[in-house]
A and B are shown apart, each in its own frame.
Chain A
Amino acid sequence: MPLSISPARVWREREPRYRLVGKRCKKCGAIIYPPRPACPHCGSRDLEDVELPRTGTVETYTIIYTVMDGFRHKAPLPIAIVRLDNGLDNGARVLAPLTDIDPEEIKTGMRVEAVLRRIKQDGEHGLIAYGVAFRPVLSEPRK
């Protein structure tokens, strides 16, 4: 089976994808995820790396029934945009699959936390690409 996952391509995204490293704009304060070379809000190039919190709230979600090639075994596939917790700043958003949950139980506003999950693989014995998925936070310590 031909290799469809490029090791270099997966490797170079490791910081943002596994550790949720985004950017903070030093000019306007925006948190950017995925990271970009310039701030999408003010255009500044003066950015710094910031590791984002791994908990957040589902801002919106979908359950995909007509999946793309390569995702058939995951259908129906729940995908969410999660607004991460972030102290004083506006939290960044992350798009990722939801995992460890029955699609029927997904709700806007639910609390979730990031975990590492297998996203796709090259056949049974090939390369595996990992990424973040969010699962429900079952209990949170009182703040």
Chain B
Amino acid sequence: MTRVYVAGVGMTKIGRHFDKGFLDLTAESAFKAIDDAGGIEPEAIVVTNMMSSRLNEQDSLGAYIAAGLGFRGKPAFKVEAACGSGGAGVYNAYLMVRSGLFNAVLVVGVEKMTDYPTSTVTAALAQAADAEYELFYGASFTGLNALMMRYYMEKHGVTRDEMSEWPVMMHSNAVSNPYAQFRRKITKEDVAKSQVVADPIRLLDSSPIGDGSAAVLLVSEELAKKMPNKPDVYIAGAWMAVDTVELTNRESLDRIPAARIAAEKAYKMAGLEPKDIDVIEIHDAFTVNGIMLLEELGFAPYGKAAKLLNEGRFHPGDRPTANPSGGLKARGHPVGTTGVYQVAEVAMQLRGDFPGLRVDGAEAGLTTNMGGDGSSLSVHILRKT
């Protein structure tokens, strides 16, 4: 069976790009990825994005971006899975190459959020939830995650102070990442004193609003062998699982079962276990997401991730190192492209050329991108040949 290699990666800095639209941002990341792969021309383009329809009044996004970047006549489409769009798009491209039908597929994600007031962006993001039974009542996306955060903390006896270690570590990790939206350290006190968005979630538990684009070029083994500089990072395992969009129909509010399912499948495909993973880039749109995912991915026992984090686990130097990029919290979360950033970052960690905090000698890495509050989960495991 053909291996799927990550032949090229490209990212833009995340932030307020007042001067750049969809095409400016995607051109920067996509052309970087193609050039990084030695100029290989993609045979198909997967565009990942969440909110272009609602916020930017732009549909036909697959055609708009692919044709705009010079790829007229090729297959292209948009993949949407709310905040999990990026990972879902990489998963689609992986399937396309793995199927044998394509030798080179470009995944390019983009989100443009900063042109609109916060209340408008908040309402658009809330469409990740159930429109009739969550959104209808004014339950914002932060609000839904706050319901899970309170439940988790009360059930497992986790304190505010313990939870705060996550955003503190994320901000510290991001300091040296040139692509990160925030490159300044914060303290637990800063988190505890920051504005309450939806109690118990505070501003510094939340990923920021930002614009950005990331791209990865996936190629078949056949094509990889012909490249002068053969890529040495491949996708060893990939899976996606969904869950009920509405929180009320799940068994428990402190679990993300779709993450566990996707991870178990991906580990099995890769022939690896959690202990074999050196570096992870996981979905922490809110502090509680990062904590719960550490448990679902097999890195911490149920209810214990925050405690372990406060004992120094998952910090730089430990294995796996969690989110050396700074994660969604500090690297940033241009929602529909975040999963592409994660794959690009882990590929660079394994190649040894990530320009920020490096996990030296990393041989295997994992990414998890989540749509909704646990409704669309994709997991990718990358390995070095």
Interface range for A: 35 or more
Among the 9-residue stretches B39-47, B96-104, B120-128, B274-282, the one with 4 or more Cβ atoms under 8 Å from chain A is B120-128
B199 touches A59 (CB 8 A): no
Q: How far is the CA of A72 from the CA of B118 in the complex (A)?
A: 12
> A108 — which chain B residues lie within 8 A by C-beta?
150, 154
Most buried by B among A41, A69, A72: A69
B142 at the interface (CB under 8 A from A): yes
Nearest residue, chain B, Cβ from A81: B147
List 14 extra interface pairs beyond A63-B196, A66-B140, A97-B137, CB under 8 A: A32-B249, A34-B130, A36-B249, A60-B151, A63-B198, A64-B138, A64-B198, A65-B196, A67-B122, A67-B140, A68-B119, A69-B119, A69-B123, A79-B138
Do A60 and B154 touch (CB < 8 A)? Answer: yes
Which residues in B have their C-beta under 8 angstroms from that of A59?
151, 253
Contact with B along A62-84 (1 / 0, CB 8 A): 11111111111010010111000
Instruction: Sort A-B residue pairs by CB-CB distance and give the 4 closest, nearest first.
Output: A62-B146, A93-B248, A60-B151, A68-B123
- Scan B85-126; emit 1 where CB is below 8 A from any A CB, else 0: 000000000000000000000000000000000111011001
Is A40 on the interface with B (CB-CB < 8 A)? yes
Q: Which residues of A come within 8 Å of B, CB atoms?
A: 13, 16-17, 32-34, 36, 40-41, 59-72, 74, 77, 79-81, 92-97, 108, 119-120, 129, 131
| Contact B133 A95, beta carbon cutoff 8 Å | yes
Contact sample, A vs B, 8 pairs, CB 8 Å cutoff: A40-B250, A61-B147, A64-B197, A66-B197, A68-B119, A93-B247, A95-B248, A96-B137
Q: Are B140 and A34 in contact (CB under 8 A)?
A: no
Q: Give B residues with C-beta under 8 Å from A.
A: 118-120, 122-123, 126, 130, 132-140, 142-143, 146-148, 150-151, 154, 195-201, 244, 246-251, 253
The answer on a CB contact under 8 Å between A79 and B143 is yes
**Residues of A close to B140: CB separation below 8 A:** 64, 66-68
- On chain B, the residues within 8 Å of A80 by CB distance are 147
List chain B residues, Cβ under 8 A from A77: 138, 143
Find out whether the CB atom of B253 lies under 8 angstroms from the CB atom of A68: no
Docked-complex contact A34 and B133, CB < 8 angstroms: yes
Q: Which residues of B contact A40 (CB under 8 A)?
A: 244, 249-250
Q: How far is the CA of A71 from the CA of B138 in the complex (A)?
A: 6
A79 close to B136 (CB less than 8 A): no
Whole-angstrom CA separation of A92 from B244 in the bound complex = 14
Contact A62 B150 (CB under 8 A): yes
Most buried by A among B120, B136, B137, B199: B137
* Nearest CB in chain A to that of B126: its residue: A68
Q: For A41, what are the chain B residues with a Cβ–Cβ distance below 8 Å? A: 251
Residues in A with CB closer than 8 Å to B150 are 60-62, 108
B253 and A33 within 8 A (CB): no
* B68 shortest CB reach to chain A, Å: 30
Residue of B nearest to A30 (CB): B249
Pick the most buried of A33, A34, A60, A65: most chain B CB atoms within 10 A of its CB: A60
| Of the residues B138, B147, B248, contact of A67 by C-beta under 8 Å | B138
Q: Chain A nearest CB: distance from B352 CB in Å?
A: 41
